[in-house]
């Protein structure tokens, strides 16, 4: 299971950040965001793929996962949204250790 390869608390924080992104940036209702994230998380947890394959999703930004779940893969984070996104990452203990501005440039 993913939790064996990755801290379970950190995994929960990751999915909570995805849920927050769905609500804040894609106007999803809380229940819809929760259902979308939970469904994907459960599907990944129980997929027959090796742990390394399942863990790859955690190398992606929660922003991109949320965009994918919202069916809006082409949406880019606008400069005026970057502070809110950093707040979400910080709240969920996912903020990058290096310069946040350089990390946000590619989103």
pLDDT in tens, 51-95: 666 677 888 899 999 999 999 988 889 999 999 999 999 999 998
| Tokens describing residue 75 | 């949406």
Residue-number span of the structural domain to which 52 is assigned: 2-104
How would you label 13-32 residue by residue, b for 16+ Cβ within 10 Å and e otherwise?
bbbbbbbbbbbbbbebeeeb
pLDDT in tens, 14-53: 999 999 999 999 999 999 999 999 999 888 877 776 666 6
How many domains are contained in the chain? 1
Nearest one of 54, 58, 61 to 89, comparing CA atoms: 61
Q: What is the DSSP letter of 102?
A: H
């Amino acid at each position: 299971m993913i939790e064996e390869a990755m801290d379970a608390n950190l995994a929960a924080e990751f999915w909570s950040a995805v849920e927050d992104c769905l609500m804040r940036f894609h106007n999803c209702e809380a229940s819809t965001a929760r259902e979308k994230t939970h469904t994907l998380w459960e599907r990944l947890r129980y997929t027959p793929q090796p742990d390394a394959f399942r863990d790859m999703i955690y190398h992606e930004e929660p922003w991109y996962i949320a965009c994918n779940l919202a069916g809006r893969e082409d949406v880019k984070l606008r400069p005026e949204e970057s502070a809110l996104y950093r707040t979400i990452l910080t709240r969920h203990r996912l903020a990058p250790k290096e310069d946040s501005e350089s990390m946000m440039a590619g989103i």
